[in-house]
């Protein structure tokens, strides 16, 4: 709620560090506004006309600084907020007795000035801290008073003193807490970045090793078959050509998987309206003519008018890889082989189910199938990247995937998508 109030509901700030500084400034502005409203009410109750005008005008400028945040002019908002608060404090503090302790508000103001600006604006932050110090020095020196001096009875001074000390203390604690929260979030971001970098390095090591092997193996096989075909009869040559075509297709699929992996890591998410049933039909249409797909019934129970808002190219990669796996590992012994797609939707969730009656996946492999370059056995013809790409792509889309599978009965992949994306 505070985020939407400060920067707007549909506004996205790419830099997390900048976002936190903006939110800190916005929260400080809201905190200042609440304090001004409180003292405005006290001035109204006491019939203090001039302080009433000062608080009212200052409150309006604080609101204007919050409006600047919503317009994306964050530095302008800060440059409006802190001079306003400094001048307000100077006018009030210099016009009443020091025993009211209202000068204490300069301390949380100086802390806030140094906190809300990021490192690139450190000179501006230092300037505002110095401004607070100068106004504090002028206020307690009794040299300058711009509004009429107010003499309070001793009983009122005691009440003001207790009230100001408590509010200044609470305000200082709130500002320090917001700073600690900011530092905690930055530390957590650094830790997350370290873990992500560590994961990427491990993936890169495995990627280089496995890619070099999987790219060379089909090429070496084709070279060997070419040598054999040079001294073979016509009938044998046809068989060798068929094997070469198979090896080249395997290599082509592997290169395509690498391309999909790279695109998912590199390209931004593009949200669009997708007819999910039609997308599934298109994916099947691109796979149905492969030799492994013969005899498999494709049952698409997703309504043709069902629309989801998501990244179409990424969702196509996900469905293509899962359906291709279901084709590759179907059970040849069955009389009726099928791949079935259907969806489930409730008030709080939406899921796509891809079900097949293929070979199934053994329990000891089910936790590993989404790992990079995992193959269930040495004779597997896949790249070992397909399901890894599926999981990484869905993570990018803030979605998840689950597997239920029984050997010799089949498998069901369940893709759960955020309902807000529909």
CATH number, domain containing residue 415? 3.30.565.10
Kindly state whether residues 168 and 273 are assigned to the same domain. Answer: no
**Of the ranges 11-15, 217-221, 266-270, which is most confident?**
266-270
Residue where one domain finishes, among candidates 146, 166, 190: 190
- What dihedral do alpha carbons 303, 307, 310, 313 form, nearest 10°? 60
Look at residue 360 and tell me if it is in a domain: yes
Average pLDDT over residues 112-123: 80
pLDDT band at 379 (very low <50, low <70, confident <90, very high): very low
Kindly state whether residues 284 and 182 are assigned to the same domain. Answer: no
pLDDT band at 10 (very low <50, low <70, confident <90, very high): confident
Kindly state whether residues 60 and 158 are assigned to the same domain. Answer: yes
Look at residue 198 and tell me if it is in a domain: no
Residue 147, token pair as written in the block = 């509004």
Look at residue 209 and tell me if it is in a domain: no
Look at residue 85 and tell me if it is in a domain: yes
Percent of the chain with pLDDT over 90: 23
Task: Quote the domain boundaries for residue 418.
Answer: 269-422
Q: What integer best gives the mean pLDDT of the chain?
A: 84
Close Cβ partners of 28 (under 8 Å, ≥ 6 residues apart):
81, 112, 115, 116, 175, 178
Kindly state whether residues 66 and 167 are assigned to the same domain. Answer: yes
Average pLDDT over residues 148-154: 84
Residue where one domain finishes, among candidates 144, 173, 190: 190
Kindly state whether residues 412 and 280 are assigned to the same domain. Answer: yes
Kindly state whether residues 151 and 287 are assigned to the same domain. Answer: no
Q: Which of 58-62, 123-127, 332-336, 345-349 has the lowest mean pLDDT?
A: 345-349
Kindly state whether residues 381 and 281 are assigned to the same domain. Answer: yes
**Of the ranges 47-51, 59-63, 283-287, 374-378, which is most confident?**
59-63
Kindly state whether residues 283 and 141 are assigned to the same domain. Answer: no
Residue where one domain finishes, among candidates 156, 190, 224: 190
Kindly state whether residues 11 and 158 are assigned to the same domain. Answer: yes
H or E stretch covering 331: none
Close Cβ partners of 109 (under 8 Å, ≥ 6 residues apart):
82, 85, 86, 89, 132
Tell me what pLDDT residue 378 has: 45
Percent of the chain with pLDDT over 70: 90
Identify which has the larger pLDDT, 338 or 377: 338
Query: Does residue 133 register a pLDDT over 80?
Result: yes
From the list 20, 30, 31, the residue with the least C-alpha distance to 105 is: 31
Cα–Cα dist 57/59, whole Å:
5
Contact yes or no for 73/20 (Cβ under 8 A): no
Q: Mind listing the pLDDT tens digit for each residue in 69-115?
A: 888 888 888 889 999 999 999 999 988 888 888 899 999 888 888 88
Tell me what pLDDT residue 209 has: 58
Tell me what pLDDT residue 215 has: 66
Kindly state whether residues 290 and 422 are assigned to the same domain. Answer: yes
Average pLDDT over residues 283-306: 89
Look at residue 213 and tell me if it is in a domain: no
Q: Which of 12-26, 79-93, 272-286, 358-372 has the lowest mean pLDDT?
A: 12-26
DSSP 168-203: HHHHHHHHHHHHHHHHHHHHHHHHHHHHHHHHHHHH
Query: Does residue 280 register a pLDDT over 90?
Result: yes
Q: Mind listing the pLDDT tens digit for each residue in 49-74?
A: 888 899 999 999 999 998 988 888 88
Residue 124, token pair as written in the block = 């501006």
Tell me what pLDDT residue 85 has: 92
Look at residue 219 and tell me if it is in a domain: no
Kindly state whether residues 53 and 175 are assigned to the same domain. Answer: yes
Number of domains, the chain: 2
Cross-strand partners of 413:
354, 403
Q: Which of 39-43, 343-347, 391-395 has the lowest mean pLDDT?
A: 343-347
| Helices of type H across 288-402 | 312-328, 363-366, 386-396
Close Cβ partners of 81 (under 8 Å, ≥ 6 residues apart):
25, 28, 29, 32, 61, 62, 65
Q: Mind listing the pLDDT tens digit for each residue in 186-243?
A: 777 778 778 888 877 776 776 665 566 566 667 777 778 787 787 777 778 878 787 8
Give 47: exposed, middle or buried? Use CB within 10 Å, 0-12, 13-18, 19+: exposed
Look at residue 256 and tell me if it is in a domain: no
Cα–Cα dist 387/376, whole Å:
12
Kindly state whether residues 169 and 22 are assigned to the same domain. Answer: yes
Tell me what pLDDT residue 2 has: 77
Cross-strand partners of 274:
308
Average pLDDT over residues 315-343: 90
Identify which has the larger pLDDT, 229 or 352: 352
Look at residue 257 and tell me if it is in a domain: no
């Amino acid at each position: 709620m505070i985020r939407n109030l400060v920067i707007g509901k549909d506004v996205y700030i790419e830099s997390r560090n900048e976002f936190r500084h903006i939110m800190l400034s916005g929260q400080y502005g809201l905190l200042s506004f609440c304090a001004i409203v409180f003292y405005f009410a006290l001035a109204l109750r006491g019939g203090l006309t001039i302080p009433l005008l000062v608080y009212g005008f200052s409150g309006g400028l604080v609101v204007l600084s919050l409006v600047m945040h919503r317009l994306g002019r964050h530095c302008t908002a800060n440059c409006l907020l802190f001079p306003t608060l400094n001048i307000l404090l100077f006018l009030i503090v210099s016009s009443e007795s020091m025993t009211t302790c209202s000068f204490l508000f300069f301390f949380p103001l100086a802390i806030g000035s140094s906190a809300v600006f990021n490192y690139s604006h450190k000179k501006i932050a230092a300037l505002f801290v110095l401004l607070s110090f100068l106004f504090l020095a002028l206020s307690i020196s009794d040299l300058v008073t711009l509004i009429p001096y107010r003499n309070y009875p001793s009983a009122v001074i005691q009440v003001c003193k207790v009230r100001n000390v408590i509010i200044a203390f609470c305000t200082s604690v709130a500002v320090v807490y917001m700073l600690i929260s900011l530092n905690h979030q930055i530390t957590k971001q650094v830790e997350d970045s370290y873990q992500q970098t560590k994961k990427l390095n491990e993936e890169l090591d495995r990627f280089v090793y496995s890619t070099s092997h999987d790219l060379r193996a089909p090429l070496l096989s084709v070279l060997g078959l070419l040598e054999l075909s040079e001294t073979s009869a016509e009938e044998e040559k046809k068989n060798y050509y068929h094997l070469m075509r198979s090896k080249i297709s395997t290599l082509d699929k592997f290169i395509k998987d690498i391309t999909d992996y790279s695109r998912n890591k590199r390209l931004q998410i593009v949200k669009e309206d997708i007819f999910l049933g039609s997308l599934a039909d298109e994916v099947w249409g691109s796979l149905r003519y492969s030799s492994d797909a013969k005899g498999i019934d494709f049952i698409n129970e997703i309504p043709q008018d069902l629309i989801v808002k998501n990244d179409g190219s990424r969702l196509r990669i996900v469905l293509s890889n899962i359906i291709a796996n279901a084709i590759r590992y179907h059970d040849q012994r069955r009389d009726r082989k099928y791949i079935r797609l259907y969806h489930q939707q409730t008030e709080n969730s939406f899921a796509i189910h891809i079900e097949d009656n293929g070979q199934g996946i053994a329990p000891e492999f089910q936790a590993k199938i989404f790992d990079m370059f995992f193959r269930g056995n040495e004779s597997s013809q896949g790249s070992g990247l397909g399901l890894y790409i599926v999981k990484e792509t869905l993570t990018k889309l803030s979605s998840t995937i689950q597997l239920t599978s029984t050997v010799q009965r089949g498998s069901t992949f369940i893709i759960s998508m955020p309902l807000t994306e529909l």
